[in-house]
Amino acid sequence: MSLLLAFDDERALAERLAQAAGLPLAFVARHRFPDGETRLRLPPALPAHTVLLRGLQQPNEKLTELMLAAAGARELGAQRLTLVSPYLAYMRQDMAFAPGEVVSQRHVGRALAAWFDAVITVDPHLHRVATMDEVVPGRCGIALSAAPLLGAWIAEHAPGALLLGPDEEALQWVRAAAQAHGMAYAVCSKLRHADRKVEVTLPEGLELRGRAVVLLDDVASTGRTLVEAAHGAHARGAASVDVAVTHALFVGDALAELHAAGVRRVWSTDSVPHESNVVSIAGMVAGALASPGSPRA
């Protein structure tokens, strides 16, 4: 028998995943002391295989929680620990862009590999590293993609739309979403000057006059990448611009800025709890937990 352990602030996805995977669900109780320390309380006896659901949006505090939860779970009986982290933070810092810069991806990955036997995630931002095996060396790492699920949603709610990736790295997601549903697609090129300053250039000759455009990306953080892509699509005469992302971080004024840039609708998966969630990853994650050779088998 396995158990799904989750945190209260991810209750909706936890309940969907427990139901889809046929797992009993229990919650980790958290207390934050006035000095910022965290106390966790887990069920006092855990089954040999325990699955922990914890997305790493706002990652720094959650990494501490993961370290404590994993160590505590092993003391309470879990022999095999699977982490389901729909949004895996720190994946974009995958090289030293300046001398002395710490390659966070490598070290966060190694920490997860030390704490967990298996890690399942969705659309991790793997650029210079090709597989999850490289992120969590020696462990079972599974990267799922929500692109086909978002593609199905877009095909139904914006029929005939062109899918536009705001940068070259989005090609993998845009292509997967578009090909599964027979949609046209293209990707832009992007230059990032600062956290909130990006330049997005649409492909030369891409004709958008009168077309519905859906911008598709793995993650929206400040939203500036999508804002610039939206401006570009409107400048080419797009009839409408909608946005679909796997991970809806949308920090600060991101949503307001998107709407100010003329974005009509914003859609996301429930990998990160957000008002834009319309597509659930629960069934897909449950499938990964149940498939032969999976961390649960």
C-beta closer to ligand R5P: residue 10 or 167: 167
DSSP 13: H
Q: In the stretch 175-204, what mask flags binding to ligand R5P with x, by CB under 6 A?
A: -----------------------x------
Closer of 139 and 224 to ligand R5P (Cβ): 224
Q: Which is nearer to ligand R5P, 87 or 116 (CB)?
A: 87
We find the least distance from the C-beta atom of residue 243 to ligand R5P, in angstroms, to be: 10
Residue 89 near ligand R5P by CB under 6 A: no
> For 192-200, which contacts have Cβ atoms below 8 Å and span 24 or more sequence positions?
192/225, 195/222, 196/222, 196/224, 197/224, 198/224, 198/225, 198/228, 199/228, 200/166, 200/167, 200/225, 200/228, 200/229, 200/231, 200/232
The span from the CA of 154 to the CA of 177, in Å, is 9
Going along the chain, which residue ranges are E strands?
A: 2-7, 25-32, 38-41, 49-53, 80-84, 118-122, 140-144, 162-165, 184-187, 189-194, 197-201, 212-220, 240-248, 266-269, 277-279
Distances in whole angstroms, Cα of residue 208 to Cα of each of 184, 264, 295: 11, 16, 45
Question: Rule CB under 6 A: is residue 214 a binding residue for ligand R5P?
Answer: no
Residue 121 contacts ligand R5P per CB under 6 A: no
Note whether 153 and 178 are within 8 A (CB). no
222 binds ligand R5P, rule: CB under 6 A: yes
Q: According to the binding rule CB under 6 A, does residue 124 interact with ligand R5P?
A: no
Among 169, 236, 262, 278, which residue interacts with ligand R5P (rule: CB under 6 A)? 169
The answer to whether 190 is a known catalytic residue is yes
User: Is 219 near ligand R5P (CB under 6 A)?
Assistant: yes
By beta-carbon proximity to ligand R5P, the closer residue of 117 and 242 is 242
91 near ligand R5P, rule: CB under 6 A: no
Which one among 220, 248, 266, 285 touches ligand R5P, defined by CB under 6 A?
220
The piece of 82-90, 145-153, 162-170, 263-271 that touches ligand R5P (CB under 6 A) is: 162-170
What residues are labeled active site? 190
